[in-house]
Amino acid sequence: MEQTPINKEVSALLTIPIEEIDAVSNPEYIRKYELKVTPTIIVIQDGAVKERMEGVVHREQLEMTLKKYL
Write the pLDDT tens digit of every residue in 12-56.
Answer: 999 999 999 998 899 999 999 999 999 999 999 999 999 999 999
For the chain, how many structural domains are there in total?
A: 1
5 closest CA partner among 20, 16, 15:
20
**Which pTM value belongs to this model?**
0.87
Over residues 7-12, the mean pLDDT reads 98
Q: Can you give the pLDDT at residue 51? A: 96
Angle CA 53–62–12, to nearest 5 = 135
- Rounded to whole angstroms, the Cα distance separating 37 from 60 reads 21
Q: Can you give the pLDDT at residue 13? A: 98
**Domain with 56 in it: what CATH number?**
3.40.30.10
- Rounded to whole angstroms, the Cα distance separating 54 from 13 reads 22
Domain that holds residue 24: 3-67
What letters, b where the CB count within 10 A reaches 16 and e where it falls short, cover 45-55? eeeeeeeebee
